[in-house]
Structure 1
Amino acid sequence: MHSGASADKIHIKGPDHKGTFEDYQQIYNEIAELLESNSDYDDGSYGPILLRLAWHASGTYDIETKTGGSNGATMRFAPESDHGANAGLKTARDLLEPVKQKHPWISYSDLWILGGICAIQEMLGPIIPFRPGRSDRDASACAPDERLPNASKGARHLRDIFYRMGFDDREIVALSGAHALGRCHTDSSGYSGPWTFSPTVLTNDYYKLLLDEKWQWKKWNGPAEYEDKKTKSLMMLPTDFELIKDKEFRKHVERYAKDESVFMNEFRDAVLKLFELGVPFKQEERYTFKRTTD
């Protein structure tokens, strides 16, 4: 691990400080410590919700109007913070707030993305390069509602949402692999349950389960979702099922189910692209951070 300035020196760096690699690695390590020390949350980690924060901050980008995206951290403000797709994410923002207070020089925009990268890596996903340079914006820059995927919709909706950001079918399926992590909550999305049996470890199980398990509609009072027939403990959203109903999507599901390394590499590239959409970077260099478990 690279060791930069001591924590005490970092603590007094003001908002005009230009972060070094060592500074960002220090913040990465502090976020990883938060994940490790709060093992009583959900399935044992805040990792999935930190990834969801970074994803939802980035996934509002519109390639035509050049609006939305991770640059700005506008989810700090209403109306974006109140969008239905962002329900429950105050938990993730609040978790990172003490890190921001300790390191006032880092933008919320960069911090949220660094949190998402840390979450992926600490949950045994691929190493995701990080490039700093996002700046925070005010409420006037809030992204409009309905730019994020609606889980109740079909393949056409998925393509409309992701093509708007500049992704293709392969990248849509790769990014959907994030559903290997975490679970749905009735008080956030209305849906309930995890997609996989190991929701705090990134694997290709999401794709394998989609193809191999027998799924049925869940009988309950909530929104339409699937459950596995065998254990009735896993769930899939209507949009998840579109990935095996649509022949173009399905061929990528099959590729990822067959070879986890192919999934990890293509997931890494798609996430890197997602996290950098629309950001006016001033530096070319990207940093890669060591996992705290390495």
Structure 2
Amino acid sequence: MAQNPDAYIDKTYDQALNARRDTTETPVGVRLDLTILQQPLGGTSPFEQDFDYPAAFETIDLEELAADIDDILTTSQDWWPADYGHYGPLILRMAWHCAGTYRIGDGRGGANGGMQRFPPLNSWPDNRNLDKARRLLWPVKQKYGRRLSWADLMVFAGNRALESMGFATFGFAGGRIDAWGPDETYWGPEKTMLTDQRHSGVRELDEPLAASEMGLIYVDPQGPGTQPDPIAAAKEIRQTFARMGMNDEETVALIAGGHTFGKTHGKADPVESLGPEPEAAPMEAQGLGWQCTHGCGKGHDAVGTGLEGIWTKTPTQWDNSFLETLFGYEWDVELSPAGQWQWVPSNGEGTGTVPDPFDPETTHHPTMLTTDLALAEDPDYREIAHRFLHHPAEFADSFARAWFKLTHIDMGPRHQYRGRLAPAKPLDWQEPDYNPEGQALPEDAISEISQRLLDCGLTRAQLVRTAWAAAATYRHSDRRGGTNGARLRLSPQCDWEVNNPEELKAVLAVLEDLLQTLRGTVDGAQNLSMADLIVIGGYAAIEAAAAEAGHQIPVRFQPGRTDLTEDDPHNTDPLWAAVLEPSADGFRNYPERQEQATEALPVEYQLIDQAQQLCLDAAELTALIGGMRVLGATYRDLPHGVLTHAPGRLTNAFFSNLLDPDVYWEPAPENSPADYHGICGRTAEVIWTASRVDLLFTSHRGLRTLAEDYAYDDAEERFVQDFAAAWHKVMTLGL
């Protein structure tokens, strides 16, 4: 185990989370950390600013790459011998665990970024010995260099592992860009690996977590709490896989398909026989960890999970043998040599039916995990598994599709995909495509549409709020949400409280009527989408607000957004419909009181989290808050944070008034809808109201410095330009 497991947990975020039920104040001793707003995310890249990785990837000959990986897969190395002379199962597990961290709650995890190379993931107990899998692939990475990211390599190698063992995959898309350091993802409150402090009620997982314990990719294979109960395990599996975006059929296909290959390694207790993991290993280990003291420590003596056994008679070949074995025997529970619960055929059946990985003269009986038995004992899982057993082609197709989803779910819409192996047809779980060629708008058409929007009876604040509501759902973690698709006009988004449904529906009704008029009267607007119209409305309002304050800003509208329909799977699938709803939005000052979010982090922590998902740095965050406040684009038109006597004009008044030394701030009375009152020092009158988010820009030293820079007498022009640039960035995310 780790010598210092706390080193792998974001303690600042963790302490705030643990304090959430006790106080609405920032926990004592915890300073809001802006590190996650450093751009680019995930460390400092050595690449030149104009380096285009997706284009570089497309120069790779994928047949040559496949041949290079195939050579790695079938050439056993003395330093880490391959089970059955084939690294396919090991590489498959590496790719699976690389992608399997994805969770739908916040879109974090997944293969993008190649985060398995960094702590904490590189040192999780569930990833034991995957450091060797990545080291085996180093010659391939070295050959292709910058043209092939680790993230793409790991997934492509997983595909080739399957194909080299006789399985036909559904496809592969490249384009995953590597991170250059650990990220700040919150993986849970536990301070010790393989412990559980994340459940409440009847084994209900805390949001947004998916794995059942710290340090696991999915669930404990022995069963919940190491109890060998297949029915209880099925409930845990269903919850965890649903949190990762998978339905029952996909779950059964993935477990049965993945366990068709390879074996588990548990001839000795991993706690007693394994040295420290990579991040705690000595320098001379050169990035490798888990040095094994059992026997020779490798090959036949390798130790991983502590479970020991072989699922099928053909561990490096795709077939139906996992399901045939699962349903071919009655099963008894027993302890592995390492003392962990697993299952063997009753009455000594199956003896001699599975091969030894190194000695051709030795055979064994098959073994199953508690989580495998769950597929046979849970009624719903059993029905699916039986169908797969009797229809192998259907099983293969389901596994192929589920594997593609698992390894591509965090990549966003298809226009992000690179390479000739990417499927041509859209899939229900993918984000809608972006089509700039089919919906281009002439500049004069944009100008006329903008003027019509300003004359349609909607206020600037309404236009800005509506555009922001469409864009603010974007999360860069899995490229979901954002302006494309115009989901704002569909349920459930049009009914979210954060969007003020009564006002939003009235605004959308005006925009729908205007859209039909524009399509018939403005040249070039025949294919104008509602998604583009909503965005143009925000630009038009901001341009007018800047002009009224004496500033000219460039309109850099980028067309091509498409509209989803009510029955589109992107909108109706309950797995995806709810997860984009924010519990708070500090940009709109929602909620106006922290008591409305007692089960969430303090609103300022959620603001930083949202800003990271919107790819904003601290300066862009500051500019957007200041601009949206003076535009009056707050939740339900509340005055909190609108620190100007002339709302609707784009000025730097928010900053200058927030920093006014003649105003002091006090907590608002309990019956006030605001968090704080700004009181004039001369008259003792309340002249402003504000939220925790607003005061963050004077109380936090880093953000105060940025606020001061925008509050200077000569800073307004620069502020307006910075606000416009940050606004454009958010409006085009995902495009």
Q: Check the 8 A contact 2:343/2:369 in 1, yes or no.
A: yes
- Runs (4 or more) in structure 1 with deviation over 6 Å come to none
Structure 2 letter corresponding to 1:275:
T
The separation in 2 between residues aligned to 1:21 and 1:38, in whole angstroms, is 30
The structural deviation recorded for 1:68 is 0.1
Q: Check the 8 A contact 1:227/1:233 in 2, yes or no.
A: yes
The structural deviation recorded for 1:203 is 1.2
- Aligned equivalent of 1:189: 305
Q: Check the 8 A contact 1:121/1:128 in 2, yes or no.
A: no
The structural deviation recorded for 1:286 is 5.5
Structure 2 letter corresponding to 1:66:
G
Where 2:332 maps in the other structure, the secondary structure is strand
The separation in 2 between residues aligned to 1:110 and 1:284, in whole angstroms, is 11
Query: For 1:65-95, what per-residue CA distance to the aligned partner results, in whole angstroms no more than 9, with x for missing partners?
Result: 0100010111111211111111111111111
- Aligned equivalent of 1:35: 73
Query: For 1:218-237, what per-residue CA distance to the aligned partner results, in whole angstroms no more than 9, with x for missing partners?
Result: 35442000112311521100
Q: Check the 8 A contact 1:15/1:106 in 2, yes or no.
A: no
Match of 2:400 among 264, 268, 275: 268
- Aligned equivalent of 1:200: 316
The structural deviation recorded for 1:44 is 2.0
- Residue 390 of structure 2 is aligned to residue 258 of structure 1: yes
Provide the aligned C-alpha RMSD in A: 2.1
The alpha-carbon distance between structure 1 residues 249 and 183, as it changes in their structure 2 partners (threshold 3 A), is same
Match of 2:85 among 35, 40, 44: 44
Match of 1:18 among 53, 56, 75: 56
The separation in 2 between residues aligned to 1:285 and 1:108, in whole angstroms, is 15
The separation in 2 between residues aligned to 1:141 and 1:80, in whole angstroms, is 12
The separation in 2 between residues aligned to 1:107 and 1:76, in whole angstroms, is 12
Query: For 1:36-74, what per-residue CA distance to the aligned partner results, in whole angstroms no more than 9, with x for missing partners?
Result: 222861122100011101100111111120100010111
- Aligned equivalent of 2:166: 124
The structural deviation recorded for 1:288 is 3.4
Matches within 5 A, 1:144-223: 144=187, 145-153=215-223, 154-177=233-256, 178-186=258-266, 187-221=303-337, 222-223=339-340
Structure 2 letter corresponding to 1:132:
G
The separation in 2 between residues aligned to 1:55 and 1:66, in whole angstroms, is 17
- Aligned equivalent of 2:144: 103
Structure 2 letter corresponding to 1:167:
M
The alpha-carbon distance between structure 1 residues 37 and 257, as it changes in their structure 2 partners (threshold 3 A), is same
- Residue 126 of structure 2 is aligned to residue 85 of structure 1: yes
Q: Check the 8 A contact 1:171/1:266 in 2, yes or no.
A: yes
The separation in 2 between residues aligned to 1:139 and 1:150, in whole angstroms, is 25
Pick which of 186-195 and 218-227 moved more.
Answer: 218-227
The separation in 1 between residues aligned to 2:342 and 2:234, in whole angstroms, is 16
Q: Check the 8 A contact 1:47/1:120 in 2, yes or no.
A: yes
Q: Check the 8 A contact 2:97/2:217 in 1, yes or no.
A: no
> Where in structure 1 are there 5+ consecutive unaligned residues?
1-13, 290-294
Query: For 1:156-175, what per-residue CA distance to the aligned partner results, in whole angstroms no more than 9, with x for missing partners?
Result: 11112110111111111000
Question: Identical aligned pairs, as a percentage?
Answer: 30
Structure 1 letter corresponding to 2:63:
Q
Match of 1:225 among 342, 358, 367: 342
The structural deviation recorded for 1:99 is 0.7
- Aligned equivalent of 1:140: 183
The alpha-carbon distance between structure 1 residues 267 and 21, as it changes in their structure 2 partners (threshold 3 A), is farther
The alpha-carbon distance between structure 1 residues 184 and 164, as it changes in their structure 2 partners (threshold 3 A), is same
The alpha-carbon distance between structure 1 residues 285 and 211, as it changes in their structure 2 partners (threshold 3 A), is same
Query: For 1:232-273, what per-residue CA distance to the aligned partner results, in whole angstroms no more than 9, with x for missing partners?
Result: 521100000011110000011111111211111110000000
Where 1:225 maps in the other structure, the secondary structure is strand
The separation in 1 between residues aligned to 2:135 and 2:52, in whole angstroms, is 20
Structure 2 letter corresponding to 1:216:
D
The alpha-carbon distance between structure 1 residues 29 and 259, as it changes in their structure 2 partners (threshold 3 A), is same
Number of aligned residue pairs: give it.
Answer: 276
Match of 2:101 among 37, 48, 60: 60
- Aligned equivalent of 2:45: none
Structure 1 length as normaliser, TM-score? 0.87
- Aligned equivalent of 1:287: 420
Query: For 1:192-229, what per-residue CA distance to the aligned partner results, in whole angstroms no more than 9, with x for missing partners?
Result: 11100100001111111111123222354420001123
The alpha-carbon distance between structure 1 residues 143 and 45, as it changes in their structure 2 partners (threshold 3 A), is farther
The separation in 2 between residues aligned to 1:288 and 1:165, in whole angstroms, is 24
The separation in 2 between residues aligned to 1:21 and 1:120, in whole angstroms, is 24
Pick which of 263-272 and 40-49 moved more.
Answer: 40-49
The separation in 1 between residues aligned to 2:391 and 2:154, in whole angstroms, is 30
- Aligned equivalent of 2:470: none
Structure 2 letter corresponding to 1:276:
H
Structure 2 letter corresponding to 1:162:
F
Structure 1 letter corresponding to 2:259:
H
> Where in structure 2 are there 5+ consecutive unaligned residues?
1-50, 188-214, 224-232, 267-302, 352-363, 423-735
The structural deviation recorded for 1:141 is 4.7
The separation in 2 between residues aligned to 1:112 and 1:219, in whole angstroms, is 33
The structural deviation recorded for 1:26 is 1.5
Where 2:56 maps in the other structure, the secondary structure is coil
Structure 2 length as normaliser, TM-score? 0.36
The separation in 2 between residues aligned to 1:22 and 1:81, in whole angstroms, is 27
The structural deviation recorded for 1:15 is 8.7
Where 1:73 maps in the other structure, the secondary structure is helix
The separation in 2 between residues aligned to 1:169 and 1:141, in whole angstroms, is 31
Structure 2 letter corresponding to 1:227:
V
The structural deviation recorded for 1:142 is 5.6
- Aligned equivalent of 1:9: none
The alpha-carbon distance between structure 1 residues 141 and 128, as it changes in their structure 2 partners (threshold 3 A), is farther
Q: Check the 8 A contact 1:173/1:253 in 2, yes or no.
A: yes
The separation in 2 between residues aligned to 1:47 and 1:147, in whole angstroms, is 20
